[in-house]
Structure 1
Amino acid sequence: MLKIELFKILCDGQFHSGTELGVQLQCSRSAIWKAVKSLKLEFNANIFSVRGRGYCLSNAIELLDKQLILNALTANAKKIVSNIDIFFSLDSTNDYLISDTKLNKYNNSICQICLAEYQYKGKGRRGKQWVSPIGGNIYCSLSWNFNKSFHELAGLSLAISVGVANFLKHYGVTEVELKWPNDILWQGKKLLGVLLEMHGEASGPCTTIIGIGINFNMKNLNVDIDQAWCDLNSILTTLPSRNIFTAHLLDNLINSIQLFEQKGLAAFLESWQQYDVIQDKEIIIKKLDTVEQGIARGIDPSGALLVEKNGQITALYSGDVSIRLSDAKSTVEST
């Protein structure tokens, strides 16, 4: 499509005149103008124009490249990953892997991966939308076939979060925090989220879709997010290659899943305690139409949040629950 090819050219962050673009894409200047308008309307692309200079994207963007990512995977990951699908635009990377055709087509493979430059129905927990501006972040979903029951996979989301937190530290992101059940924060601001969806027999086997949304570079992007957030661009002095970073993220996810298969959540509990930002703090618990308060006391071996209320400890399972610190200054809520 013309607008996609145009966007690819503009990804260098330089000015391109309408005449130059028309010649390169073999179309009229009017068609270029319409394509730019479409990119703004459909994808909220931050493209601006200057008379006499042409069109320019607000940020240079390194588009995702399947071959670069595959080449950068470790030998272990290359043996596991049977396919990577990359889309310019998609409703949701999770939904793509969940679709019956994908589940049936690849039911004999262990792992499938889907990436997108833009999601128009990005998914968060409890039916909320994950804001997914074009080209600035990493929207990744990985499917994995487990010979385990839903119950045995109860702590997988937390294990993945710990693995990603360790991965971010490797890249120089200090002060990483985990907030039960699936938020990864930096200095109290949301940096990324994890969403797991399970399909199959409750007693096993089952396919689990692991969705990761990372705020990579949100500079100059048109976004409207209802909570405190940050991106890697604001944390790191120099941003890594988006493709290499994605490959290393996939390596980390695969390693974390394999460790979880072998040893369960027990292998991640100590690290969770180090990252846990709500432990021993007063929290507000929203559950359907009820609101309660308590003190977070860490997690149990299954991954349930332990909450103290009136001297009694109860276990809270994620489900349709949201958690936030009771401190009025806290602006991030687990979604």
Structure 2
Amino acid sequence: MSGHSFTDNHPGFPDGLLRALARRSSWSRAELARHLMVAEAEVESGLEVLGSLGLALLRPDNRVGLEDPLELLDEARIRAAFGGNTDLTLQVLEQVDSTNTRLEQMRRQGMAPPMACLADIQWAGRGRRGRQWLMPPGAGLPLSILWSIRHWPAPDPTITLAAGVVVIRVLEALGARGLSLKWPNDILVHGRKLGGILVEGHAQAGAGVDLILGLGLNLRLPRDLPIDQPYGDLRDAGLDLDVSRNVLAARLLEALTDMLATYPEPGFAAYRTPWQAHDACAGRPVLIRGARTLEGTGCGVDAGGRLQVLTAEGMVSVEAGEVSLRFAP
């Protein structure tokens, strides 16, 4: 997932606090405590947590409210804008550790796909190679989809690349520009990280095989976050900030579930050409670290989604997995 790099467990805040602040312009701490049915000390602690995430809070006359309006995710608004699979179970949360993790927990509890989970704040979204990501309130869009692939002949790793194409199509249809794809799962804006995709497969005896497709997008990140790589958001893509988070969520869910419903036929063959057209590595020096280190020039992907790198020894195909790709000087 994309967002603010985060490794420590975070205390969170009382459920309902963020939604209360977004719904009404001014509260006393006592009013919030009564509304949430918690102690005032928990309210104060929660306000400190939200403030530490960069949420601007007004505190005039010992009252508290949001300095700027905040559009929170709303299931009814998402469904109203969603024209896709009506069987999709939708869970919209105020805060979550990881939308992928939440869907896996629901799957283990016997909930059947298709399901989707979205959240306003994600404390510990999971990226590739065990990285964790925090998604501050209203600054991004974390969503995950649980989908049955029991009819697939085999798990297909190209689904990650196809999902990247789908996300870019949605964003460009809304007016975003300067987008590209960095193999295997990063979405870039003008060369800086805009988002990421994480696909995980899960098998269960007697229940077939499911996958969880997770997406994190940066919408309006603060400019001074201590992130260890160049990052951007949809403002850098020229996307109007008035674009609704709920409409964006609906468009993404609709497009991604449509794609999942047709996989694995025609599969990546239908997405390879647009993927190549947005390939951030094409013709550029790249450095790949994994079981061995490779240096060369990116030359697109093959029909199986493997990165093609032209090295001094010739063309090498790189499998997605425990590798790290960087643009070389």
Following superposition, the deviation at residue 32 of structure 1 comes to 4.9
Residue 152 (structure 2) aligned to one of 103, 127, 148: 148
> Is the contact made by 1:133 and 1:223 (CA closer than 8 Å) also made in structure 2?
no
> Is the contact made by 2:13 and 2:49 (CA closer than 8 Å) also made in structure 1?
no
Whether 1:67 and 2:92 are equivalent positions in the alignment is no
Counterpart of 2:110? 105
Following superposition, the deviation at residue 174 of structure 1 comes to 1.1
Whether 1:253 and 2:256 are equivalent positions in the alignment is yes
Q: Give the TM-score, by structure 2 length.
A: 0.85
**Alignment length (residue pairs):** 313
Higher relative contact order (CA 8 A, sep 6+): 2
- The secondary structure found in structure 2 opposite 1:7 is helix
Following superposition, the deviation at residue 39 of structure 1 comes to 3.5
Following superposition, the deviation at residue 206 of structure 1 comes to 1.9
> Is the contact made by 1:84 and 1:113 (CA closer than 8 Å) also made in structure 2?
yes
Separation (CA, whole Å) in 2 of partners of 1:10 and 1:208:
35
C-alpha change, 1:223 and 1:2, in structure 2 (3 Å) is closer
Separation (CA, whole Å) in 2 of partners of 1:169 and 1:12:
31
Whether 1:94 and 2:65 are equivalent positions in the alignment is no
Separation (CA, whole Å) in 1 of partners of 2:13 and 2:200:
35
Following superposition, the deviation at residue 178 of structure 1 comes to 0.5
1:222-280 C-alpha deviation (Å, 9 max, x unpaired): 84321111112443233311111111110110122234333010000110111001012
- The secondary structure found in structure 2 opposite 1:163 is helix
Where do 1:24-63 residues align within 5 Å? 26=34, 32=40, 34-41=42-49, 44-45=52-53, 46-52=55-61, 54-63=63-72
Counterpart of 1:316? 318
Following superposition, the deviation at residue 49 of structure 1 comes to 4.0
Q: CA RMSD in A?
A: 2.9
> Is the contact made by 2:199 and 2:211 (CA closer than 8 Å) also made in structure 1?
yes
> Is the contact made by 1:283 and 1:325 (CA closer than 8 Å) also made in structure 2?
yes
Following superposition, the deviation at residue 33 of structure 1 comes to 6.6
1:245 partner amino acid: L
Counterpart of 1:125? 128
Residue 176 (structure 1) aligned to one of 176, 179, 185: 179
> Is the contact made by 1:17 and 1:52 (CA closer than 8 Å) also made in structure 2?
no
Separation (CA, whole Å) in 2 of partners of 1:17 and 1:129:
33
Separation (CA, whole Å) in 1 of partners of 2:50 and 2:240:
32
> Is the contact made by 1:13 and 1:61 (CA closer than 8 Å) also made in structure 2?
no
Separation (CA, whole Å) in 1 of partners of 2:136 and 2:18:
14
Separation (CA, whole Å) in 1 of partners of 2:23 and 2:269:
46
1:279-313 C-alpha deviation (Å, 9 max, x unpaired): 1211011115x433111111010101011112411
2:47 partner amino acid: L
Following superposition, the deviation at residue 103 of structure 1 comes to 4.2
Separation (CA, whole Å) in 1 of partners of 2:74 and 2:35:
26
C-alpha change, 1:294 and 1:205, in structure 2 (3 Å) is farther
Following superposition, the deviation at residue 13 of structure 1 comes to 8.6
Identity between Structure 1 and Structure 2 (%): 28
> Is the contact made by 1:3 and 1:36 (CA closer than 8 Å) also made in structure 2?
no
Following superposition, the deviation at residue 106 of structure 1 comes to 2.9
C-alpha change, 1:48 and 1:313, in structure 2 (3 Å) is same
1:243 partner amino acid: N
Where do 1:182-197 residues align within 5 Å? 182-197=185-200
Counterpart of 1:209? 212
Worse overlay, 297-306 or 47-56 = 47-56
1:52 partner amino acid: D
Following superposition, the deviation at residue 124 of structure 1 comes to 0.5
C-alpha change, 1:318 and 1:67, in structure 2 (3 Å) is same
Separation (CA, whole Å) in 2 of partners of 1:314 and 1:11:
52
C-alpha change, 1:64 and 1:17, in structure 2 (3 Å) is closer
Residue 232 (structure 2) aligned to one of 226, 230, 233: 230
Whether 1:9 and 2:14 are equivalent positions in the alignment is no
Extract unaligned runs of 5+ from structure 2. 1-11
> Is the contact made by 1:59 and 1:219 (CA closer than 8 Å) also made in structure 2?
no
Following superposition, the deviation at residue 129 of structure 1 comes to 1.0
Separation (CA, whole Å) in 1 of partners of 2:300 and 2:246:
35
1:287 partner amino acid: G
> Is the contact made by 2:99 and 2:119 (CA closer than 8 Å) also made in structure 1?
yes
Q: Give the TM-score, by structure 1 length.
A: 0.84
Separation (CA, whole Å) in 2 of partners of 1:223 and 1:149:
43
- The secondary structure found in structure 2 opposite 1:71 is helix
Extract unaligned runs of 5+ from structure 1. 328-335
- The secondary structure found in structure 1 opposite 2:70 is coil
- The secondary structure found in structure 1 opposite 2:20 is helix
Separation (CA, whole Å) in 2 of partners of 1:246 and 1:177:
20
1:211 partner amino acid: G
Separation (CA, whole Å) in 2 of partners of 1:279 and 1:196:
23
1:247 partner amino acid: A
Following superposition, the deviation at residue 218 of structure 1 comes to 2.0
Residue 275 (structure 1) aligned to one of 274, 278, 299: 278
C-alpha change, 1:43 and 1:302, in structure 2 (3 Å) is farther
